[in-house]
Structure 1
């Protein structure tokens, strides 16, 4: 029984060490570039252009948003009792709701970024005035700061 315990402990240590070595051997930038290249190859095989991505002007997967908006618009128009209105509003919602959703997300991201940018620049300027240096690994470009 003790030999089995040591065997299991040895195997666990071996696989943890192998995992750490494999993780440290990764190159995240190369992985991102390879994923981007695979995505481009998939796009080229699919015929180059994605009609929905062009229509919504995004590469994000917003099909669930489009379907939900189309169904909601169709149900509202169906409650009014006009089938032509139902088809028109469902189509309009299917086309324009994802674009509005992506624009809303974009504005939120930009607002969050701009909200943090002022504080970061003030802290960096304060550190430089106090004789500090920029954080390591992030060189300041453009020569002198004076």
Structure 2
């Protein structure tokens, strides 16, 4: 009911004074646009507030990616030492140059101590003493070599030491 009265008074005023009518329209449009702007501003403030961290805590506030990378690398190094190096020393029979670990002898895979090398050069280390598989860091040894068609058996020398 009040709205109808306001509209009728508004219409009566617009009939009486056209300059006032134009000014009232401008004021009304300005008021409406300000109300829209305020509403949009409140919405954006609300959305920004929802996006902001409420309580990041001390760990996130003091976060440093460099420190994290360093600690990760330290852990990785320790793991590498535990898994690969400590166990590998006990498992390997030959060192990285192809010598036996327990006595340091450069023994050919034919198991002859005086052999200068009777195989083709190794594709990995170029040694003439490697058989079909390179001796560098190898984890096994030949116990003996049996020649087919004869009773000749070449045993590993000093097998008791290994």
TM-score over 0.5 (shorter chain): no
TM-score normalised by structure 2 residue count: 0.26
Which structure is higher in helix share? 1
TM-score normalised by structure 1 residue count: 0.28
